[in-house]
Structure 1
Amino acid sequence: MINPVWLRSFCTLVEVGNFTRTADRLFMTQSGVSQHIRKLEEQLGVLLLLREGKHFTLSDAGERLYREGREVILTLSELEAHVREDSAYEGEVRVMSPGSVGLKLYPRLLELQKQYPKLVIDYRFGPNSDVETSISESRADIGFMSRPSTLADVSCDQIMEEPLLLITPREIKTPTWETLNVLGFIDHPDGAHHAYLLLSENYSEFQYSDQFEKKGFSNQISLILEPVSLGLGFTVLPSYAVEAFHSPHLIRAHHLANPVSEPLYLATRARITLPKRVMTVLEEAKQWLGNSR
Structure 2
Amino acid sequence: MINPNLLKSFVTLCETKHFTLAAEQCHMTQSGLSQHIKKLESQLNVELIHRHAKRFELTPAGERLLEQAQHILGCLTELPEQIREDEPYRGTVKIMSPGSVGLKLYPVLLTLQQSHPELVIEYRFAPNKDIAEAVKTKQIDIGLTSEQVDQHVLTYDPLASEPLLLVTPEFITAPSWDALSTIGFIHHPDGAYHGNLLLGANYPEFQHVNQLPNRGFSNQIGLILEPVSRGLGFTVLPAHAVSAFSPAEKIRQHTLTHPIWEPLFICQGKHQPYTKAVNTVKKAIKEVLS
The TM-score with structure 1 as length reference comes to 0.72
Q: Which amino acid aligns with 2:83?
A: V
More displaced stretch, 275-284 vs 194-203: 194-203
Q: Report if the CA contact (8 A) 2:187-2:216 is conserved.
A: yes
Match of 2:251 in 1: 251
Match of 1:227 in 2: 227
275-284 or 184-193: bigger deviation: 184-193
C-alpha deviation, 1:258, in angstroms:
1.0
Q: 1-side partners of 2:210 and 2:171: how far apart?
A: 24
Question: How many angstroms does 1:196 deviate by?
Answer: 1.7
Question: Counterpart in 2 of 1:267?
Answer: 267
3-state DSSP class of the match of 1:200? helix
Superposition map of 1:115-264 within 5 A: 115-264=115-264
Distance 1:103 1:125 in 2: 9
Q: Which moved more, 1:178-187 or 1:116-125?
A: 178-187
Q: Which residue of 1 aligns with 2:15?
A: none
Mapped to 2, the partners of 1:94 and 1:269 lie a distance apart of 13
Question: 2:181, 2:212 within 8 Å by CA — same for their partners in 1?
Answer: yes
Tell whether the 8 Å contact from 2:105 to 2:285 is kept in structure 1 after alignment: yes
Q: Partner amino acid for 2:225?
A: L
Counterparts of 1:129 and 1:180, CA distance in 2: 26
CA separation in 2, counterparts of 1:233 and 1:91? 44
Q: Gaps (5+ residues) in structure 2?
A: 9-22, 36-70
1:242 and 1:254 map into 2 onto residues whose CA distance is 11
* TM alignment of 1:39-50, pairs within 5 A: none
Q: Post-superposition shift, 1:149?
A: 2.5
Query: CA shift at 1:75, angstroms?
Result: 6.4
C-alpha separation in 2, matches of 1:232 and 1:75: 58
Establish whether residue 96 from structure 1 lines up as the match of residue 96 from structure 2. Answer: yes
How far apart are the structure 1 equivalents of 2:271 and 2:32? 48
- Structure 1 CA distance for aligned equivalents of residues 105 and 244 of structure 2: 11
The answer to whether the Cα contact below 8 Å between 1:184 and 1:214 also exists between their aligned partners in 2 is yes
Instruction: Give the Cα–Cα distance (whole angstroms) in 1 for the partners of residues 197 and 72 of structure 2.
Output: 63
Alpha-carbon offset, residue 194 of structure 1? 1.4
Structure 1 CA distance for aligned equivalents of residues 34 and 151 of structure 2: 55
What per-residue deviation string (whole Å, max 9, x for no partner) do you get for residues 224-246 of structure 1? 10011011111111112112213
Partner Cα distance (1:64, 1:92) in 2: 45
Structure 2: distance between partners of 1:132 and 1:148: 8
Supply the distance in 1 between the matched residues of 2:210 and 2:72 (Cα, whole angstroms).
Answer: 68
Q: CA deviation at 1:88?
A: 0.8
Deviates more, 1:209-218 or 1:154-163: 209-218
Partner Cα separation in structure 2 for residue 184 and residue 75 of structure 1: 60
Task: Show CA shifts across 1:251-286 (max 9, x none).
Answer: 111121211012212111211321010011111111
2: CA distance, partners of 1:160 / 1:225: 24
Residue 195 of structure 1 deviates from its aligned partner by 1.5
What is the rounded CA distance, in whole Å, between the counterparts of 1:166 and 1:72 in structure 2?
59
The aligned counterpart of 1:280 is 280
Opposite residue 181 of structure 2, the aligned amino acid is N
SS of residue matched to 1:219: coil
Give the Cα separation in 1 of the matches to 2:34 and 2:240.
66
* CA separation of 1:262 and 1:58: change in aligned 2, threshold 3 A: closer
Give the CA deviation at 1:152. 2.7
1:42-96, CA deviations, whole angstroms, 9 ceiling, x for partnerless residues? xxxxxx89xxxxxxx974358999xxxxx99986553212210111111111111
Secondary structure (helix, strand or coil) at the match of 1:143 reads: strand
- Give the Cα–Cα distance (whole angstroms) in 2 for the partners of residues 248 and 152 of structure 1: 42
How many aligned positions are there? Answer: 240
SS in 2 for 1:135: helix
Shift of 1:145: 1.4
| Structure 1 residues 79 and 257: CA distance shift in structure 2, 3 A | same
- Give 2:132's aligned amino acid: E
What is the alpha-carbon distance in structure 2 between the residues aligned to residue 72 and residue 100 of structure 1?
A: 45
Contact preservation (8 Å) 1:149, 1:156: no
8 Å CA contact retained: 1:149, 1:155:
no
SS for the counterpart of 1:168 is strand
Alpha carbons of structure 1 residues 252 and 72: separation in structure 2 relative to 1, 3 Å:
closer
> Structure 1 counterpart of 2:30, which letter?
D
Instruction: Give the match's secondary structure for 2:280.
Output: helix
